[in-house]
Amino acid sequence: MRKSINQINQRIREGNARVVTAEEMPDIVADLGEEGALKEVDVVTTGTFGAMCSSGAFLNFGHAEPPIRMEKIWLNDVEAYGGLAAVDAYIGATQQSTTREEQYGGAHVIEDLVAGKAVEMRAISRGTDCYPRRTITTELLLENLNQAIMCNPRNAYQRYNAAINTTDRTLHTYMGTLLPNCGNISFSGAGLLNPISNDPKLRLIGSGVPIFLCGAPGMVVGEGTQHSPAGGFGTLMVTGDLKKMSQDFLRAATMFGYGVTLYVGLGVPLPVIDTDVVRATAVRDEDITVDLLDYGVPSRNRPVLRKVNYSELRSGSVSLNGEEVRTSSLSSFRRARIVADSLKDWIEKGKMELCLPTQPINPTKQVRPMHETVKGPRVLDIMDRNVVSIGEEEEIKGAARRLLKGETNHLPVINREGRLVGIVTTFDVSKAVANPGKARLVRDIMKKKVITTTPDEAVDNAVRKLEQHNISALPVVDTQNHVVAMLTAIDLGKLFGGRWLK
């Protein structure tokens, strides 16, 4: 059996379409079987409500008198992109205020507009013969704009990897606060309610398909940026009328220590046209698996600690190496459910009809990393290969001499095998000399916990280590923990005036 989209729309118009949410669907399919569910259910609604950084809106302000060709534009001190003719702008959600930094940003401007608050617009221009005006400042309400069209390049990630932190300090990331030593797990996503997880082959979701976007009827534009459904990470580009949106489904937020983002409520209704749709919409939380990544490693390729599914993540704790680690979500499942329920209500009341994509989205695409032609500086480009080190069994006096002779402030300490076991600084040696006690050997005063770098590491990563630990030198070690060079604050000076300065 098959149902046509016209049959389904006919039932919607007549007010007797059977609409269920993607949360209700798995049990219905278990009860009635696939054919039974196909007969029974006409539409499955999905929903998600979470941080979607890649969001924003096109605004048209209308012309002033005398007119201005706005080149640089600020809304409540948040810069909006003005490279779009004279009186258009794009306000991006993550752009931060020039005065209030992460406390206020593009997302807040958008929420304030939707909430009916006045927003101060400032713009400047060079002035032209046709647009003589050079500056303008005015207060605007959403209703004063000709158009306010939300257009989000990347929303509704199919799923998202969970985050954990194995380092010994708290991390502030776009995945929220990650406590040290695997203290918590942070995750995001609506699991079985997620739109693309209910249509992973993208048979129903594509260009032109109607959606729920922040409380307003919206539409799928097409694939989102970084769309990567081959690995289970499809995304959507979506649009909708900001003037019809509601604060209930659109919230500005700040990830502490990271920046501003926008919480977006988004749902896609899926017409149940055949048993393939039934099977896809019967997906449960336990069927959707993501990687648990160590955000303690600041790399594109973060280590995977284990696989974990949404059922485990939503249970409140996940076991890792025999210990239970508490989980919490950044996205709101309760609001995702309200999105799916609202969409269900719209369709039951005949307020939204469905359609199939006017253009399909590629379901096999795989995202590629950035093509980098100019590598940033690595530690090996600036490190000092002239290493002055000391053995752990030498006397402190020897260390003092070595420091003087080597004109350095840091001595890596090596054992008999030539491997790094500690570090002593001028401060450590001076302290030992000024307060003579039992300590006689370098071993007795050295710091055993040494922060190191490697020749291949990006200088930016090494600099963060120096800052975080409030130190001024890093031994550069090879894979066998032999010290091959030192990286000090002085070496960083080579970045200026050298070939890295452009």
What is the set of active-site residues? 130
**Residue 52 CA from chain centroid, whole number:** 8
Q: Least distance from C-beta 145 to another protein, angstroms?
A: 25
E-strand ranges in 141-294 read 147-155, 162-164, 171-173, 176-178, 185-187, 210-213, 216-223, 236-241, 250-255, 259-267, 269-271, 289-294
One of 177, 207, 362, 454 touching another protein (CB under 8 A): 177
Q: Which amino acid is at 267?
A: G
Q: What is the DSSP letter of 65?
A: S
Backbone angles phi, psi at 116, to 5 degrees: 85, 10
Q: Least distance from C-beta 165 to another protein, angstroms?
A: 12
Backbone angles phi, psi at 244, to 5 degrees: -100, 5
Closer residue to another protein (CB): 76 or 261: 261
The span of 1-9, 26-34, 329-337, 492-500 binding another protein (CB under 8 A) equals 329-337
Closer residue to another protein (CB): 21 or 331: 331
Q: Least distance from C-beta 42 to another protein, angstroms?
A: 27
Closer residue to another protein (CB): 254 or 454: 254
- Determine how many CB atoms are found less than 10 A away from the CB of residue 137: 10
Q: Least distance from C-beta 51 to another protein, angstroms?
A: 7
Closer residue to another protein (CB): 92 or 271: 92
Say how many residues touch another protein, by CB under 8 A. 30
Q: What is the DSSP letter of 280?
A: H
Q: Least distance from C-beta 28 to another protein, angstroms?
A: 21
Residues 448-487, interacting with another protein (CB under 8 A): none
Q: Least distance from C-beta 152 to another protein, angstroms?
A: 18
Is there binding between residue 255 and another protein (CB under 8 A)? yes
Closer residue to another protein (CB): 177 or 362: 177
One of 46, 327, 342, 425 touching another protein (CB under 8 A): 327
Is there binding between residue 328 and another protein (CB under 8 A)? yes
Cis-peptide, bond into residue 210, ω within 30° of zero: no
Closer residue to another protein (CB): 179 or 492: 179
The span of 76-84, 176-184, 285-293, 472-480 binding another protein (CB under 8 A) equals 176-184
Helix (H, G, I), strand (E, B) or coil at 445: helix
Q: Which two tokens stand for residue 343?
A: 């969409």
Q: Least distance from C-beta 85 to another protein, angstroms?
A: 35
Q: Write down the number of H helices and E strands in the chain.
A: 12, 31
Q: What is the DSSP letter of 297?
A: S
Is there binding between residue 157 and another protein (CB under 8 A)? no
Q: Quick check: 358 and 220 in contact, CB under 8 A?
A: no
Helix (H, G, I), strand (E, B) or coil at 143: helix
Is there binding between residue 194 and another protein (CB under 8 A)? no
CA angle, 41 then 44 then 49, to 5°: 160
User: What do you get for the CA distance between the two ends of the chain, in Å?
Assistant: 66
Is there binding between residue 186 and another protein (CB under 8 A)? yes
One of 43, 53, 162, 330 touching another protein (CB under 8 A): 330
- Paired with 354 in beta bridges are none
Residues whose CB falls within 8 Å of the CB of residue 34, separated by 6 or more in sequence, listed in order: 275, 278, 279
Q: Quick check: 285 and 191 in contact, CB under 8 A?
A: yes
One of 9, 76, 95, 184 touching another protein (CB under 8 A): 184
The span of 34-42, 235-243, 321-329, 454-462 binding another protein (CB under 8 A) equals 321-329
Q: Which residue has the tokens 């006919």?
A: 10
The span of 81-89, 328-336, 357-365, 490-498 binding another protein (CB under 8 A) equals 328-336
Is there binding between residue 117 and another protein (CB under 8 A)? no
Q: Which two tokens stand for residue 450?
A: 């040494």
Residues 258-287, interacting with another protein (CB under 8 A): 261, 263
Closer residue to another protein (CB): 161 or 331: 331
The span of 54-62, 252-260, 451-459, 492-500 binding another protein (CB under 8 A) equals 252-260
- Kindly give the residue spans of alpha helices, DSSP state H, lying in 331-458: 333-348, 379-382, 396-406, 426-434, 442-445
d(CA 342, CA 314) in angstroms, rounded, equals: 23
Q: Quick check: 292 and 312 in contact, CB under 8 A?
A: no
Closer residue to another protein (CB): 49 or 157: 49
DSSP letter for each residue of 408-425: -SEEEEE-TTSBEEEEEE
Residues 37-96, interacting with another protein (CB under 8 A): 49-51
| Interface characters, 331-370, with another protein (x: CB under 8 A) | xxxxx-x---------------------------------
Closer residue to another protein (CB): 159 or 335: 335
Q: Quick check: 212 and 342 in contact, CB under 8 A?
A: yes
Is there binding between residue 253 and another protein (CB under 8 A)? yes
Q: Quick check: 245 and 79 in contact, CB under 8 A?
A: no
Bridging pattern class, strands 72-75 and 162-164:
unpaired
Q: Least distance from C-beta 195 to another protein, angstroms?
A: 19
Q: Least distance from C-beta 247 to another protein, angstroms?
A: 9
Residues 385-444, interacting with another protein (CB under 8 A): none
Q: Least distance from C-beta 336 to another protein, angstroms?
A: 10
**Residue 323 CA from chain centroid, whole number:** 27
Contact set with another protein (CB under 8 A)? 49-51, 176-177, 179, 183-186, 251, 253-257, 261, 263, 316, 326-335, 337
